[in-house]
Amino acid sequence: MSSSAGAAEVRLSIPADSAYIAVPRSVVGNLAARNDFTLDAIDDLRIAVDEACALLLPQSADGELECVFQIAPPQLTVRTSAVVPNGWRPDTTSFGWTVLTALVESAAAETIDGRLTITVTATASATESL
């Protein structure tokens, strides 16, 4: 089922509570399925978004996580962010970060105005070859 709408953006805010992590995981799965990602690629994206949320969850200073899903077929970019303590960055040598980067085309973390954003990007054709 291919989306004919082209570029789109979906925004989601959830409480920084592990009980809600299934929500962004479900959203990315649905969006990837609508944009011709394979079943394996959909699972990879779900796990990557889950890891991004898990990295930010304990650091959220205001108790909220934001996820922005940008669809520009065949590419899907997810930006997961939270207000974090000054100077906190994810450990890029951790198991969680290693898993996250292995599952997507690219992953990065950046801090802007005290808000840390973890960005993951996958392309339907590139993800199929993983």
**102 pLDDT band (50/70/90 cuts)?**
very high
Structure token digits, residue 127: 């993800």
The per-type count for the chain, helices as H runs and strands as E runs, is: 4, 5
What would the pLDDT profile of 35-82 be if each residue is shown by its tens digit?
999 999 999 999 999 999 999 999 999 999 999 999 999 999 999 999
| pLDDT-based confidence at residue 103 (cuts at 50, 70, 90) | very high
Nearest-10 crossing angle of helices 39-56, 22-34: 150
In this predicted structure, the answer to whether residue 126 has a pLDDT above a threshold of 80 is no
Q: What pTM did the predictor assign? A: 0.89
